[in-house]
Amino acid sequence: MKSPTPKVLFDVCGLPSVAHVVRLAQALGAARMALVVPPDHAAMRAAIDTDATFVVQDPPLGTGHAVRLAVEALGTSDGTDVVVLCADGPLYRASSLDALLGAMAASAAAGAILTAQVPDPRGYGRIVRSADGGVERIVEELEADEATRAIREINTGIVAFRAEEGLPALRSLSNANRKGEYYLTDIVERLRAAKARVARSMVSDPSECAAFNSIAELGEVRRLMRARILREHMDRGVDIVDPSSTHVDVDVEIGAGSRIPIPWHAWRA
């Protein structure tokens, strides 16, 4: 981000990105929550209004390592469903995650992957499907051959799994790859090797998957969030004359029948 501000603390329509994700977990009814953080996480702790467990990852050895630390810190038991969310992805809807958990339960799967179909899959891990319609494996772009890179169904980074099967799979991950990291995506192959099924659920709106690694990408995430907020207000009867020049933060309340005219700065322009 080329900024001293931690990425997940950048504001997205009135809340830090990570706070949107914490609210999403709360909307799902999460009984317990763990946030994986770097050693210097005081600003993050101060910015988040939650009783979540803060798990320090030091050194950072990859996403699979991070999730293993979180699951071990929570002390999950058999029968617990674990959902992994990404703090730089504030646009996911609770309905999409409900569908993910529903797909896992309906097929008695050990895990489930939230996927999306996108026109340009560059930069994403690709979904290789199994014969039963589930997920055979996820291939990171750096590890993919030409045929795999042509796949347009991508991994969003959102994963669910049953703790009793997922934790042993996490502990068995290898870092024998180009980055020398423990990839969370490799959990699929570990579960499949144990003869377990991995389900998939595809988001209906790929814009939910928008995340950011730069200020320019953050601008696009803000635009999408702003459009969603304005649409929700308009659906409730708020007349927003010019949505393109109107900014409303996430917790703002506007009564039905209200009218928001064109802002004065738009007239000056």
Domains assigned to the chain: 7-209 (3.90.550.10)
Please give the distance of CA 36 from its chain centroid, rounded to a whole number. 14
Q: What is the pLDDT, as a whole number, of residue 267? A: 55
Locate 256 and state its tokens. Answer: 């039905």
Q: What is the pLDDT, as a whole number, of residue 107? A: 94
**199 backbone φψ class: left, alpha, beta (φ>0; ψ -120 to 50):** beta
pTM to 2 decimal places: 0.92
Q: What is the pLDDT, as a whole number, of residue 150? A: 95
Task: Look at residues 161, 178, 200, 209 and name the one whose alpha carbon lies nearest to residue 62.
Answer: 178
d(CA 113, CA 48): 27
127 close to 207: Cβ distance less than 8 angstroms: no
Q: What is the pLDDT, as a whole number, of residue 262? A: 86
Beta-strand relationship, 111-117 and 153-162: antiparallel
Locate 5 and state its tokens. Answer: 């501000």
Q: What is the pLDDT, as a whole number, of residue 192? A: 95
| Residue stretches of the chain with pLDDT short of 50 | 269
Q: What is the pLDDT, as a whole number, of residue 77? A: 76
Burial of 90 (0-12, 13-18, 19+ CB in 10 A): buried
